[in-house]
Amino acid sequence: MPYTVERHQPAIYYEEIGRGTPIILIPPPGVGHLTFRYQVKLIDQCQLISFDIRGDGQSERSSELMTMDQLISDVKRVLDTNHIKRAVICGYSNGACIAQEFTLTYPERTMGLILIGGYYAVNSFLLEKEYQIGIWAAKNGLMTFLAKALSRNHFSDKQAAEEHYREIKKTNPQMLAQQYQIGLHFSSESRLQQINVPLLLIYGSRDYYLHEYQHLFKQLIEDVEIVYIHGVKHQVPTKAPDECNAAIRDWLKRKKLVPNSD
């Protein structure tokens, strides 16, 4: 199985498939690489890299306190291991926070930015409560509860949900709580104008309390496009994968980030 290898750092489990424009897919806390299992349909034009964040799923644990710098360094390590100099950085939910921080820190490694259910800070009451519940459940070792909730929320297919559940159960609860804490206190609000690559925002049409975030992204970043996926809430990659993939494919083509197949 493929892992990054670096002294004094936990090995990061990743999967790589396809050829074409590199896209690295950054998941939310705990849910890991299987969250993007339906994005494999993009492999005709894209080299897809998905991975488990440190402490999650099959990635190794670390005894030191987790930081955002570590999380973006892990993204870079996965890219380096696959000899990728520049990639489209795609983050889902809290993974969108990591994607933004990576783009701000490593603009030379970023071709474009995709945020699925993304936000620049946790300043919504409902979003804050979601993070607080995640922190509370992780700190109290309620991984069975979390794994069942996250897998059922993401997958309607029973086999896919069961596979997802088993992967989430491998997650280290202490590191998961730390990951939630980092997301809760993250903010790129004062730095958004520094993002100078094309940005695609994808929201579920029923993910109402995140829609407000689009306005500042659009105000401060020059090249922004927004797509609403009809009839779904937050779990766009798994509950509306065909529509999500079509939005990504169309955006990549129009931004000339994939070879023209016409």
Domains held by the chain: number: 1
| CATH number (domain holding residue 20) | 3.40.50.1820
Inside any domain, residue 247? yes
Residues of the chain with pLDDT under 50: 262
Taking the C-alpha atoms of residue 199 and residue 188, their distance in angstroms, rounded to an integer, is 14
| pLDDT the model gives residue 1 | 60
Inside any domain, residue 176? no
Inside any domain, residue 74? yes
| pLDDT the model gives residue 261 | 54
Inside any domain, residue 169? no
pLDDT, tens only, 30-84: 999 999 999 999 999 999 999 999 999 999 999 899 999 999 999 999 999 999 9
Instruction: Write a three-state SS string for the chain.
Output: CCECCCCCCCCCEEEEECCCEEEEEECCCCCCHHHHHHHHHHHHCEEEEEECCCCCCCCCCCCCCCCHHHHHHHHHHHHHHCCCCCEEEEEECHHHHHHHHHHHHCHHHEEEEEEECCCCECCCHHHHHHHHHHHHHHHCCCHHHHHHHHHHHHCCCHHHHHHHHHHHCCCCHHHHHHHHHHHHCCECHHHHHHCCCCEEEEEECCCHHHHHHHHHHHHHCCCEEEEEECCCCCCHHHHCHHHHHHHHHHHHHHCCCCCCCC
Inside any domain, residue 234? yes
Inside any domain, residue 95? yes
| Domain residue limits at 85 | 14-120+188-254
Inside any domain, residue 40? yes
